């Protein structure tokens, strides 16, 4: 199996050091479209879709392999091997932050830094730990996904959109956005939101940046603090950006935060 084709890997940029962007749960590599242009000149940009997301080869999906985040980390490492990436700056959104930790723990020699956007090592509250959610809340999400499954064809179908008032807001998309297989997406949700990677944090030897949004409903401030305390060599940056997706809601601030960290 060709890994680059399996994960719909796209490489661009004029630089040599790889900036490897990993999308989070719920979408695909297009989530980075507001960020990557700012780094094209100085870095080698590597984008990919997890198997079952975007334009990846869904036939390569293995329910057993991807039932833990380790399976996704193996994908990342296989991409690194296929492109022979070294000195990698890994940028992961949400769940991909932990995928990055797992990948860097397995092959620390490939990674130079980890940049985590809205990370959380565990979404469900535990004794002495605030994750933000109870198990029933995650089951509520799965129920919501199941309900949308009924109308999924429309929900995730390719859409070509024009914004008549501000056409520059939404460049016409001639391809599907966030097209995913509903069964795989549901499984990805279970894998993501029932995961617990707290024990993997102290072993990280690669320096990391935690980008913590204000009022992040998915990864609250307590989670950012926990990560900062648990991750050796970590930098915590509290952003003005609210929500969980600063790379699409506040791309300028996200770009500035990444640039500042890389320049330090």
Partner 1 sequence: MLDLMDTAPCGFVAFTDDGTIDEVNQTLAEMLGYTRVELLGWHIDKILPPGGRIFHHTYLFPLLKVQSLVEEIYVALRTKDGRDVPMLLNGKRRERDGKLVSDCVLLRMIQRNEYEEQLLQARRLAEESSAAKAKFLSMMSHDLRTPLTTIDGNAQLFETGAYGPLSGEQLEGIEAIREASRVLMTMVNDILEFAQLDSGRVKVQPVAVPVADVISRAVSLVRVQIGEAGVHLTTDGCDGDAAVLADPGRLQQILLNLLTNAVKFTPPGGEIAVSCESDGARVRIRVRDNGIGIAADHIERIFSPFVQLETTPAHATPSRGVGLGLAISRDLARAMHGDVTAESSPGAGSVFSIDLPAAHAVAFSESST
- SS3 at position 126: strand
The DSSP symbol for 29 reads G
Q: Is 161 in the site for partner 1 (CB under 8 A)?
A: yes
Active site residue 62: no
User: Is residue 84 near partner 1 by the rule CB under 8 A?
Assistant: no
Q: Is residue 59 annotated as a catalytic residue, yes or no?
A: no
Q: Which of 87, 108, 126, 140 binds partner 1 (CB under 8 A)?
A: 140
Q: What is d(CA 84, CA 152) in angstroms, rounded to the nearest whole number?
A: 38
Work out which of 245, 255, 257, 258 binds partner 1, going by CB under 8 A.
245
Give the separation between CA 109 and CA 264, rounded to whole angstroms: 21
As measured in angstroms, the least distance from the Cβ of 244 to partner 1 is 4
Contact status: 71 vs partner 1 (CB under 8 A): no
* Whether residue 216 lies in the annotated active site: yes
- Which span (30-38, 194-202, 222-230, 252-260) binds partner 1, by CB under 8 A? 30-38
C-alpha–C-alpha distance, residues 91 and 102, integer Å: 13
In the chain the beta strands, taken as DSSP E runs, fall at 10-12, 18-22, 44-48, 88-93, 111-117, 208-214, 234-242
The residue within the footprint of partner 1, chosen from 249, 253, 261, 262 (CB under 8 A), is: 249
Of 128, 154, 174, 263, the one binding partner 1 (CB under 8 A) is: 154
Residue matched to tokens 């000149």: 41
Pairing of strands 44-48, 10-12: antiparallel
**How many Å apart are CA 256 and CA 258, to the nearest integer?**
5
Tell me the catalytic residues.
94, 216, 244
Residues making contact with partner 1 (CB under 8 A)? 1-2, 4-5, 9-14, 24-27, 30-31, 33, 44, 59, 63, 94, 132-134, 137-151, 154-155, 159, 161, 163, 165-166, 169-170, 173, 177-178, 193, 215, 217-218, 241-245, 248-249
């Amino acid at each position: 199996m060709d890994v680059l084709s399996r994960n719909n890997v796209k490489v661009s940029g004029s630089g040599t050091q790889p900036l490897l962007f990993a999308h989070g749960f719920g979408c695909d590599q297009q989530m980075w479209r507001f960020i990557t242009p700012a780094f094209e000149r100085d870095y080698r940009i590597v984008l990919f879709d997890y198997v079952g997301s975007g334009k990846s080869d869904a036939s390569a999906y293995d329910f057993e392999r991807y039932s833990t985040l380790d399976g996704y980390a193996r994908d990342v490492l296989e991409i690194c091997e296929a492109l022979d990436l070294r000195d990698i700056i890994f940028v992961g959104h949400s769940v991909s932050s932990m995928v990055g930790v797992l990948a860097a723990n397995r092959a620390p020699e490939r990674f130079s830094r980890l940049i985590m956007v809205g990370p959380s090592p565990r979404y469900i509250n535990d004794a002495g730990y605030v994750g933000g959610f109870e198990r029933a809340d995650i089951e509520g999400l799965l129920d919501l996904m199941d309900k949308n499954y009924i109308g999924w064809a429309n929900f995730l179908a390719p859409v070509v959109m024009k914004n008549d008032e501000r056409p520059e807001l939404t460049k016409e998309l001639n391809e599907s956005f966030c097209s995913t297989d509903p069964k795989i997406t549901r499984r990805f949700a279970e894998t993501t939101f029932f995961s617990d990677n707290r024990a993997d944090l102290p072993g990280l030897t690669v320096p990391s940046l935690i980008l913590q949004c204000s009022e992040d409903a998915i990864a609250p401030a307590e989670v950012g603090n926990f990560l900062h305390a648990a991750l050796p060599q970590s930098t915590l940056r509290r952003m003005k950006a609210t929500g969980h997706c600063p790379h699409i809601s506040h791309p300028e601030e996200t770009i500035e935060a990444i640039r500042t960290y890389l320049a330090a």
